[in-house]
Structure 1
Amino acid sequence: MARYVYIISGPCGVGKSTITKGLACKLEKAVLIEGDLISAMFVGEEQPPWEEKLSIVWQNLSSLTKNFLRNGYDVVIDYVVEDEMEWFFRELRQTGFDITLHYYVLRADPEVLIERITKRGDTDMIPRSLELLHLLENKEENAPHLYDTTHKDPNVIIEEIANNITGYYP
């Protein structure tokens, strides 16, 4: 049986959490994996360097995804993807499962991101969000996967993604 993996990326304030939660609930048999929760598992005074931590988070995203696929679940992943997509795609292909991977890079106009983040009270996240927006929008490989959330209702976005209207990965 074919399984689906949805990876929803984008900067803070773009709607990743809202969209991924709504999407996972809309699918028949699905799980939601939030990369930030895996990242938050690192506790204690001694933390690994950022690159090592990121690598471990992606290894866990891969392991969890494979386990849920093996048990018949579709997977929705909420996490920022910078350079990990090719590696992750290779990891999934090695499983031999019949998988369709959907990759979306959510974006919004900078002033909308600032407004959304300010409403949440996370103003310290604004510089990083704008930096990620610029980075993700300007990656050539992301161009076919960009999805503008600026003036769209989250329910419309969820419906479009669930109905596979846009965003296939090779």
Structure 2
Amino acid sequence: MKQTVYVISGPAGAGKSTLSKALVHMLPRSARIEGDIVNHMVAGGYKPPWKSECLLELTWKNIADLSHNFVQAGMDVVIDYVAFPHEVSHLKQKLKEETGCTIKYIVLQVEDQELVRRDRLRPASQQMGPRSIELARQFRESGVNETFILDTTAVHDDHLDKVCQEIRTNDRYVL
């Protein structure tokens, strides 16, 4: 069976981590890649991804290499990271050429006031503040095809299984 790489994206507070954790547990052989962890592997000279194109490119290269390794081992992969269309395009090119896997791109969208509410529920050290709204704006302006957008404003934990099943079975998310 052909493996699938799921790229769960969207602004901070949209539900990427919650959804990706639920999805990875539904998949029989799977791995979850947290882009923030890969990004924070850089210790000396670290800069946030929006302030260093070089480090952002390195993060995506590492995510692609990890994804490739997991797919080659017969696993589906769930990537939890802020991923704009051009970044996913590069990931798709590398993985499709080397592995032939299916790639699904899901951009979580949330109303701004809900993003702010969710951000305030996070521990202080993890709050993004105005950056969440800025990312939401960037996604709206990035030209993301509406096919890939999933509104999670009203999604609560008791609906996660249904949303995960939708992502797994609906081909609208295939790149």
Q: Do these two structures clear the TM 0.5 threshold for a shared fold by scoring above it?
A: yes
- The reply on whether 1:112 has 2:114 as its aligned counterpart is yes
Any idea what SS the aligned residue of 2:6 has? Answer: strand
Q: What RMSD, in angstroms, separates the aligned Cα atoms of the two structures?
A: 1.8
Contact 1:103–1:168 (8 Å) recurs in 2: yes
Q: Which amino acid aligns with 1:101?
A: I
Runs of 4+ in 1 over 6 A off after TM superposition: none
Give 1:99 deviation, angstroms: 1.3
1:1-170 matches, cutoff 5 A = 1-44=1-44, 46-47=45-46, 50-82=52-84, 83-95=86-98, 97-122=99-124, 125-154=128-157, 155=160, 156-164=162-170, 166-169=172-175
- Percent identity between matched residues is 35
Deviates more, 1:131-140 or 1:154-163: 154-163
The SS at the match of 2:14 is: coil
Q: Measured at CA, do residues 118 and 102 of structure 1 come closer, stay the same or move farther in structure 2, by a change above 3 Å?
A: same
Partners of 2:40 and 2:46 within 8 A in 1: no
TM-score (norm 2): 0.88
8 Å contact kept, 1:136–1:142? no
Hey, what's the Cα distance between the residues in 1 that align with 2:53 and 2:143? 22
Confirm or deny: 8 A CA contact 1:105 1:142 kept in the other structure. no
CA contact (8 A) 1:137 1:146 kept: no
TM-score under structure 1 length normalisation: 0.90
Q: Which runs of 5+ in 2 are unaligned?
A: none
Q: Which runs of 5+ in 1 are unaligned?
A: none
Q: Deviations along 1:79-113, whole A, 9 cap, x unmatched?
A: 11123121111111220x33111100001100001
How many residue pairs are counted as aligned between the two chains? 167
The 3-state SS of whatever aligns with 2:173 is coil
Counterpart Cα distance in 2 of 1:61 and 1:55 = 10
Query: Do the aligned partners of 2:6 and 2:103 also contact (CA within 8 Å) in 1?
Result: yes
Amino acid at match of 1:50: S
The residue matched to 2:116 in structure 1 has which SS? Answer: helix
Work out whether residues 110 and 151 of structure 2, in 8 Å CA contact, stay in contact via their aligned partners in 1: yes
For 2:155 and 2:127, locate their aligned partners in 1 and report how far apart those are by CA, in whole Å.
25
In proportion to residue count, which structure has more helix?
2
Amino acid aligned to 1:119: L
User: 2:120 touches 2:127 (CA, 8 Å); kept in 1?
Assistant: no
